[in-house]
Amino acid sequence: MHDGSKAAGRTLSRRSFLMAAPALTLATLGAPPTRAGERDWPPVFETGRSQFTVVRPRTTMPSLRLQDLRGKDVLLAPKPGRITLINLWATWCAACRLDLPTIASLDRQRRDALDACAICTDTRDIRTIRSFLGSVNVPDLSCYVDTYGAAVPPKGSSDALFKPVGMPITYLVGPSMQIEGYITGAADWLSPEGARLLQFYREQASQGLPSSSS
């Protein structure tokens, strides 16, 4: 009687294991990535219908010939070891009225490791641009005019450095001065998800690792 109970116990254990095997397999397949995987690829950052999109192959951002709001020519270039956000906007863009103040707030809060630059792409009329910027109250944001088509070349050009697939659109240039990715729309960079994305690139730089898999 006692031996029979042991046999039954062994049978039930084997049967339970076999029944549980498919569930264990599914759980393994659905498990989150390992720490190494998380370290190699940026965390998800999305706002509404937009999500941060990684750009590959990566391209080093060159100096851009632009104009400041006084009409003076300037060269804009990323700084090694720092994150640079290149925000492309237009005076006709309603979402830009929400996006630019967020970018400006982020720039104020993270000046220790981040540079944010807003580039107007639809007009060269500095008076119109200054009027628009005044209406959204971003006095401290670094704003420029794409007078020479350095950021967004004329339509039809195949060698555009920053492709305006939506408006507004913000490109993230990593500490290695390479373009890492972009997100369209009025992204909430001040959200926990936005902070995690920026922290990812900061940590990669401090560890001397590639920003993410090529």
Task: Provide the 8-state DSSP code for 60.
Answer: B
pLDDT per residue rounded down to tens, the chain (214 residues): 444 444 444 433 334 333 333 333 323 223 334 344 455 789 999 988 899 999 999 999 999 999 999 999 999 999 999 999 999 999 999 999 999 999 999 999 998 889 999 999 999 999 999 999 999 999 999 999 999 999 998 775 667 789 889 999 999 999 999 999 999 999 999 999 999 999 999 987 666 655 544 4
What's the fold here for domain 43-207? Answer: Glutaredoxin (3.40.30)
Query: How many whole angstroms separate alpha carbon 73 and alpha carbon 122?
Result: 18
Ramachandran angles phi, psi of 83, nearest 5°: -85, 135
Q: Which of 158, 121, 186, 150 is nearest to 194 (CA)?
A: 186
Longest CA span, the chain: 97
Intra-chain end-to-end CA distance of the chain, in Å: 65
Query: How many whole angstroms separate alpha carbon 178 and alpha carbon 173?
Result: 5
- Could you tell me the two tokens for 182? 């972009």
Model pTM above 0.95: no
